[in-house]
Amino acid sequence: MRKAGKQTWMYENYLYLNSTGTAVGPKEAEGPLADTFDISHDKLHCEEANWELAERRLMSESIDVCLSKANMSKDQIDLFLAGDLLNQNVTSNYVARSLSIPFLCMFGACSTSMETLAVGSALIDAGFANHVIAAVSSHNATAERQFRYPTEYGGQKPKTATSTVTGAGAALVSKVKSEIRIECATIGRVMDYGTKDPFDMGSAMAPAAYDTIKTHFEDTGRKPEDYDLIVTGDLSGVGSVILKDMLKEDGYTIDQLYNDCGLMVYNSDQQVFAGGSGCACSAVVTYGHLVQALKEGRYNKIFVVATGALMSPTMVQQKETIPTIAHGVVLMRSEGGGQ
Partner 1 sequence: MSEKFNQQQYDKTVKEYQPKPSLIGNCLRAFLVGGSICLLGQFLTGLYMDLFNMTEREAGNPTVTTLILLSALLTGFGVYDKIAQFAGAGSAVPVTGFANSITSAALEHKSEGLVLGVATNLFKLAGSVIVFGVVAAYIVGIIRYVFQAIM
Contacting residues toward partner 1, per CB under 8 A: 49-52, 145, 149-160, 193-195, 200, 203, 206-207, 210, 237-238, 241-242, 245-246, 249-250, 271, 274
User: For partner 1, which is the closer residue by CB, 214 or 301?
Assistant: 214
> Distance (Å, rounded) from C-alpha 261 to C-alpha 308?
13
Instruction: Name the burial class of residue 98, with classes exposed (0-12), middle (13-18) and buried (19+) by CB atoms within 10 angstroms of its CB.
Output: exposed
For residue 66, the SS3 value is: helix
Which residues on adjacent β-strands are paired with residue 132? 79, 173
> Distance (Å, rounded) from C-alpha 47 to C-alpha 293?
31
Least Å from the CB of residue 204 to partner 1: 9
Least Å from the CB of residue 151 to partner 1: 6
User: For partner 1, which is the closer residue by CB, 11 or 51?
Assistant: 51
One-letter amino acid of 102:
P
Least Å from the CB of residue 150 to partner 1: 4
Least Å from the CB of residue 250 to partner 1: 7
One-letter amino acid of 23:
A
User: For partner 1, which is the closer residue by CB, 2 or 157?
Assistant: 157
CA-wise closest residue to 102 among 74, 143, 60: 74
User: For partner 1, which is the closer residue by CB, 66 or 246?
Assistant: 246
User: For partner 1, which is the closer residue by CB, 7 or 203?
Assistant: 203
- The upper half-sphere exposure of residue 248, i.e. CA atoms within 13 Å in the direction of its Cβ, equals 10
> Distance (Å, rounded) from C-alpha 164 to C-alpha 211?
24
Least Å from the CB of residue 185 to partner 1: 23
